[in-house]
Structure 1
Amino acid sequence: MIIPGIVSVTFRDKTVEEILRVSAACGLQAIEWSENAHVFPGDAEGSVKLREKTEASGLQIAAYGSYFRLLEEETDQAFKQSLLSAKALGAPVIRIWAGNVASKEVSAADRMQLVERANRVVEMAAVEEIKVALEWHRNTLTDENESALRFLDEVDHPNLYCLWQPAIGLPMKERCAGLHELAVRKKLLNLHTYYWKEEERKPLSEGFPEWRQYLAQINRQEDRYALIEFVMDNSTEQLALDASALKQLIAELN
């Protein structure tokens, strides 16, 4: 079952209350709360209040969108602060980033350090029964299918997964292949849902031909969230249109 929702950083400048109100009005059912925008690392009290507000609005918490990166200079304590908030929020998933350098530019030694670091933080999250998902993003180790899938194999931890979104610069064939492989390996969690054309935001409805191909790659019976991000013009009116389009896509699967 695919559940429609939103990534809160889509409206970074709006309050929690405004985001909850507009999301519910659009018929969305879940939110990935974004760190440093609407929830903050180490703020357990604020995270509990945010969870209560979300539940009172009738929405589910899809994930905690952290900006923690697997970098040598970052300490385990930094991740612990994000994990503390994710737990207090009641998030089933915490999103992290696989470094900040394109995969082709990462040395074998640096890559192994990232593997070791990933194992540490993924195990920390496993203790709290929270899944860890890598952002599927350029200028990280998940910027290409081969690198991302190899990194999952190198870490080799049952609590490490990926989110997925259409990668800029990759052709449709490669996008679909990467998504299919994640699904087959049971390493796919949520989808970040948007449509860009030549790096320009467009209405999601214009991306139906692409998104039908993406959704054909996954097991549509498995539970996951499809979360709207990058709304054209940062417009709540466009969010309503994109939400309607997303719900239509989901209805087609049934």
Structure 2
Amino acid sequence: MLLPGLVSVTFRALSVPEVVALARECGLRAVEWGGDIHVPLNDLAAARDARQRCADAGLTISAYGSYYRAGTTDPTEWDVVLATAVELGAPQIRVWAGTTGSATTSPAQRAVVVDAIRTAAVAAEAAGVRVALEYHPDTLTDTLESATSLFTEIGHGSAVPYWQPGGAQDVSNAIDEVRALLPTLTTAHVFSWGPGAWSDRLPLAAREDLWLPVLRELNRDGVDRYTLLEFVADDSPDKFRADAATLLGWLSSLTA
């Protein structure tokens, strides 16, 4: 089953109660809480507050959206990241696979990133948490080949992939990426971009050609996965409401 939700950093200007209220109003089921504004690193009181507010609203916490960059961030910080995620009740922690793209990362630096992710995954597994790697440019998940190789190199079952489209993403390439990352893919960040990528945000419905086949692929094996809305046009709650209605309509069509 695909579980609709939102990434809280979509609305950095909104408070935790406002994010929860918006998610509930839109009929969503989950929130990924960001570690920069809403649940700051090592702010355990904020983590407990977000956790309780979600529980009261009937929302699931999908992840702790950290800004831990494996191989670059001081590895001693991971204990704090993990403690915050555990207090939040997050089943997974979003991290970044380094700070450079696969084509410009030396084999030695790639090995450092791999080791840092593996070490984080070992500690996370002991706490009942997974490490979810952001599928993102300028990291070692910037291409499908590098991403799939990375998980093989890490060699730990608690390190799992996210997926998100690029600007003007080609549909067949998107399907290939999603299919290759299954079955361990846990989460898709859902948005529609034009060729200008982050600065070219479209209504979600503008890429129905992309998202309907991607959602069908994500739903093919019946495994629970999160589909989290992000990057709404103009950072507008009203446009977000329209995107949420679009996503819910698509998900409903999968079970019709």
TM-score category by the smaller chain? Answer: over 0.9
Q: 1:145 touches 1:174 (CA, 8 Å); kept in 2? A: no
Change (3 A) 1:246 1:38: same
Aligned to 1:163: 162
Give secondary structure in 2 for the equivalent of 1:27.
coil
Are 1:34 and 2:31 an aligned pair? Answer: no
Q: CA deviation at 1:173?
A: 2.7
Aligned to 2:94: 95
Q: TM-score, normalised by structure 1?
A: 0.95
Tell me, in whole angstroms, the C-alpha distance in 1 between the residues paired with 2:123 and 2:98: 18
Aligned to 1:227: 228
Aligned to 1:203: 203
Tell me, in whole angstroms, the C-alpha distance in 1 between the residues paired with 2:61 and 2:218: 22
Give secondary structure in 2 for the equivalent of 1:116.
helix
Give secondary structure in 2 for the equivalent of 1:66.
strand
Are 1:246 and 2:240 an aligned pair? Answer: no
Which one of the candidate residues 182, 191, 195 is aligned to 1:194? 191
Q: 2:167 touches 2:194 (CA, 8 Å); kept in 1? A: no
Tell me, in whole angstroms, the C-alpha distance in 2 between the residues paired with 1:160 and 1:169: 28
Give secondary structure in 2 for the equivalent of 1:96.
strand
Query: 165-174 or 232-241, which moves further after superposition?
Result: 165-174
Q: Which amino acid in structure 2 is aligned with residue 145 of structure 1?
A: L
Give secondary structure in 1 for the equivalent of 2:217.
coil
Aligned-pair identity in percent equals 35
Tell me, in whole angstroms, the C-alpha distance in 1 between the residues paired with 2:228 and 2:46: 23
Give secondary structure in 2 for the equivalent of 1:67.
strand
Q: 2:171 touches 2:209 (CA, 8 Å); kept in 1? A: no
Aligned to 1:112: 111
Q: Which amino acid in structure 2 is aligned with residue 201 of structure 1?
A: R
Q: Which amino acid in structure 2 is aligned with residue 43 of structure 1?
A: D
Aligned to 2:214: 214
Tell me, in whole angstroms, the C-alpha distance in 2 between the residues paired with 1:179 and 1:157: 20
Q: CA deviation at 1:50?
A: 1.4
Tell me, in whole angstroms, the C-alpha distance in 2 between the residues paired with 1:117 and 1:75: 10
Q: CA deviation at 1:69?
A: 0.3
Q: CA deviation at 1:41?
A: 1.3
Q: CA deviation at 1:17?
A: 1.0
Give secondary structure in 1 for the equivalent of 2:90.
coil
Question: Which blocks of at least 5 consecutive residues in structure 2 are unaligned?
Answer: none
Structure 1 consecutive aligned stretches of length 4 or more whose deviation exceeds 4 Å: none
Tell me, in whole angstroms, the C-alpha distance in 1 between the residues paired with 2:126 and 2:243: 37
Are 1:4 and 2:1 an aligned pair? Answer: no
Query: 207-216 or 82-91, which moves further after superposition?
Result: 207-216
Give secondary structure in 2 for the equivalent of 1:188.
coil
Tell me, in whole angstroms, the C-alpha distance in 2 between the residues paired with 1:76 and 1:30: 29
Q: 1:40 touches 1:82 (CA, 8 Å); kept in 2? A: no
Q: CA deviation at 1:4?
A: 0.8
Q: 1:201 touches 1:232 (CA, 8 Å); kept in 2? A: yes
